[in-house]
C-alpha cells in the first residue's frame, strides 16, 4: 500500500512551483474519468507548440505510454511507469542518454508527466504479499487523465487555426491570379482604364506580404486584394455590358453603322484623348513630309520631361538611355509586352520610344494607354503616323501653361520655335522618290 506521495526530485534537480502545480493537477483528476491514452496522445501532438513540448519529448512520452499495459486510463487508478533509461532509449529509436534526460525534463516542465523519484533515484515498484504494487517510483502519467479535456480543446483550436490559415492562403493565391489575369485582359482587350495605376496598386499591396506571416496579416492583405478585385471586376463587367448593348444596336441599325464614316474616330474616343494629326500629306506631292523624320533628343526631353522621373539621377544624355527609360515606362502605363513589340516593329524602336514618352507625359488625359498605343500602331502600319505632331502639341501645351502662369515663357517659346524651325527645314529638304529620280536623270 502506498504510504507517501513523492513530491521532490532526486539529486541536484531543483523543486519548482510549476512541478507543484502539475502535481496538484494530477491529484485533482475528475472522478470516474476515462481516457483513451492514444487519443489523448494524438491531441497532445496537435497542441505540441501550445504546450511547449518538443518533438523528441513526444517520442519519449509515446514510449512511456507504451510501458503501461492498459489502453484506457482511469482517474482513480495507479498510472506510474518505471522503465530504465536503457529501456526508454530502446523504444525512443536509440536516443542518446543526454538527449533523453533533456527531453524528459521538458515533459516534466510542460506538466505532461510527474516525477516520482525513489530515495536513490532508481525507478522500481515494491509489491506486497498478494502481488499488488504497494509503492512505485518512476513517471506518473496522471496528468494525461487530469488534463485530457484541456488537451482536446487545445488540439481543436490548433486544427481550426491551421484550417483558417490554409483557407486564407488559398484565398490569396486565387485572388492574386484573378487580379493579374484581369489586368492583362483589360490591357489586351483595350478596356478603358488606367491599368498602369491599377497594377502599381496591386504591386504595392503584394509588396507588404512577408515571406512568412501570421494569419491575421494574411487576412488583412487578402481583404485589400478583395477590394481591388471587386473594382477591376466591376470595370470589366461594365465594359462587357456596354459592348453587348453596342452589338445589339449595330444589329438593329446596321445600315446606319455602315454609312457612318466617322466610326473609327468614335471608337478612339473611348481612350479619352483626341486623335493626333499624322503629319502626312498627299502621296503625289513632290515636296511631302516623310513619316520617319528623326527628332532631336533635346526637343523630345523638353516636350516629355516626365520620363526623367524613371531614370537614375534624373538625366538622359543618349538615345540608348532614352530607350532604356521607355522600357520602364511601359509597365508603369500597364501596356502589354505584345502591344509594345508591335509598336516597335511598326514605328521603329526610337519613334516608338518617343511615342511612349509622349503618352506617359499625357497619361492623366489618356484612359487606356495600351489601347491608344495599339491605335497609333495600326496607323503607323498604314504610314499615317509620326511622333512629330505629338511632340509639337506637347511643346504648345507647355507654352500655353507658361503663359497662364507667367513663368518660363521665353524658354517655352524658344523650345517651340526651335522645333518648328527644324520641322520646316526638314520639310524643305525632304523630296519624293519621283523627284529624286528626275534629278538623277538630269545629272546624267
Q: What is the pLDDT at residue 265? A: 39
**Stretch 11-21: mean pLDDT, rounded?**
58
**Stretch 50-63: mean pLDDT, rounded?**
91
pLDDT tens figures, 192-249: 878 888 888 888 898 888 888 888 999 999 999 999 999 999 988 888 887 765 555 4
pLDDT at residue 131 greater than cutoff 90: no
Q: What is the pLDDT at residue 270? A: 34
Q: Binning pLDDT at 50, 70 and 90, where does residue 261 land?
A: very low
Residue scoring higher pLDDT (323 or 439)? 323
**Percent of the chain topping pLDDT 70:** 72
The most confident of 168-177, 282-291, 318-327, 428-437, by mean pLDDT:
168-177
Lowest mean pLDDT among 16-25, 83-92, 127-136, 417-426: 417-426
The residues, any chain, with a CB within 8 Å of residue 286's CB and separated by 6 or more, are 431, 432, 434, 435
pTM over 0.95: no
Q: Binning pLDDT at 50, 70 and 90, where does residue 8 land?
A: low
Lowest mean pLDDT among 60-64, 123-127, 161-165, 384-388: 123-127
- Alpha-carbon distance 369 to 187, whole Å? 9
Locate 54 and state its grid cell: 518538443
The H-assigned helical ranges of 110-147 are 142-146
pLDDT at residue 258 greater than cutoff 90: no
Residue scoring higher pLDDT (100 or 292)? 100
pLDDT tens figures, 348-378: 889 999 999 999 988 888 888 999 999 999 9
Q: What is the pLDDT at residue 172? A: 92
Q: What is the pLDDT at residue 175? A: 93
pLDDT tens figures, 400-418: 777 776 555 555 555 555 5
- Alpha-carbon distance 397 to 389, whole Å? 12
- Alpha-carbon distance 91 to 66, whole Å? 9
Average pLDDT of the chain, as a whole number: 76
Backbone CA torsion sign across 328, 332, 335, 337: positive
Minimal CA–CA distance to 114: which of 147, 153, 88, 89?
147
Amino acid at each position: 500500500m502506498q504510504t507517501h506521495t513523492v513530491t521532490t526530485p532526486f539529486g541536484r534537480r531543483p523543486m519548482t512551483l510549476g512541478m507543484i502545480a502539475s502535481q496538484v493537477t494530477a491529484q485533482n483528476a475528475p472522478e470516474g474519468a476515462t481516457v483513451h491514452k492514444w487519443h489523448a496522445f494524438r491531441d497532445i501532438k496537435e497542441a505540441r507548440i501550445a504546450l511547449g513540448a518538443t518533438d523528441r519529448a513526444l517520442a519519449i512520452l509515446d514510449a512511456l505510454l507504451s510501458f503501461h499495459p492498459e489502453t484506457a486510463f482511469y482517474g482513480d487508478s495507479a498510472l506510474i511507469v518505471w522503465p530504465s533509461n536503457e529501456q526508454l532509449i530502446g523504444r525512443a529509436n536509440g536516443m542518446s542518454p543526454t538527449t533523453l534526460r533533456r527531453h524528459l525534463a521538458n515533459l516534466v516542465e510542460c506538466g505532461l508527466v510527474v516525477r516520482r523519484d525513489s530515495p536513490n533515484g532508481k525507478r522500481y515498484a515494491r509489491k506486497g504479499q498478494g502481488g499488488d504494487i504497494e509503492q512505485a517510483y518512476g513517471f506518473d502519467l496522471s496528468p494525461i487523465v487530469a488534463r485530457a479535456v484541456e488537451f482536446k480543446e487545445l488540439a481543436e483550436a490548433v486544427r481550426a487555426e491551421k484550417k483558417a490559415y490554409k483557407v486564407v492562403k488559398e484565398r490569396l493565391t486565387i485572388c492574386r491570379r484573378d487580379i493579374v489575369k484581369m489586368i492583362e485582359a483589360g490591357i489586351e482587350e483595350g478596356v478603358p482604364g488606367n491599368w498602369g495605376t491599377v497594377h502599381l496598386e496591386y504591386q504595392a499591396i503584394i509588396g507588404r506580404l512577408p515571406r512568412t506571416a501570421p494569419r491575421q496579416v494574411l487576412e488583412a492583405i487578402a481583404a485589400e486584394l478583395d477590394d481591388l478585385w471587386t473594382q477591376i471586376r466591376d470595370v470589366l463587367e461594365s465594359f462587357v455590358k456596354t459592348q453587348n448593348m453596342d452589338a445589339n444596336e449595330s444589329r438593329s441599325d446596321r445600315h446606319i453603322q455602315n454609312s457612318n464614316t466617322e466610326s473609327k474616330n468614335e471608337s478612339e474616343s473611348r481612350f479619352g484623348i483626341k486623335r493626333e494629326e499624322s503629319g502626312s500629306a498627299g502621296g503625289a506631292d513632290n515636296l511631302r513630309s516623310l513619316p520617319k523624320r528623326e527628332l532631336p533628343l533635346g526637343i523630345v526631353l523638353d516636350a516629355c520631361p516626365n520620363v526623367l522621373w524613371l531614370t537614375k539621377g534624373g538625366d538622359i544624355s543618349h538615345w540608348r538611355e532614352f530607350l532604356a527609360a521607355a522600357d520602364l515606362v511601359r509597365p508603369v502605363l500597364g501596356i502589354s509586352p505584345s502591344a509594345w513589340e508591335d509598336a516597335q516593329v511598326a514605328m521603329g524602336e526610337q519613334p516608338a520610344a518617343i511615342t511612349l514618352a509622349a503618352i506617359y507625359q499625357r497619361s492623366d488625359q489618356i484612359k487606356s494607354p495600351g489601347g491608344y498605343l495599339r491605335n497609333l500602331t495600326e496607323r503607323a502600319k498604314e504610314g499615317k503616323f509620326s511622333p512629330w505632331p505629338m511632340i509639337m502639341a506637347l511643346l504648345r501645351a507647355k507654352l500655353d501653361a507658361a503663359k497662364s502662369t507667367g513663368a518660363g515663357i521665353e524658354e517655352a517659346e524658344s523650345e517651340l520655335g526651335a522645333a518648328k524651325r527644324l520641322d520646316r527645314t526638314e520639310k524643305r529638304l525632304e523630296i519624293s522618290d519621283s523627284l529624286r529620280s528626275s534629278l538623277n536623270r538630269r545629272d546624267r
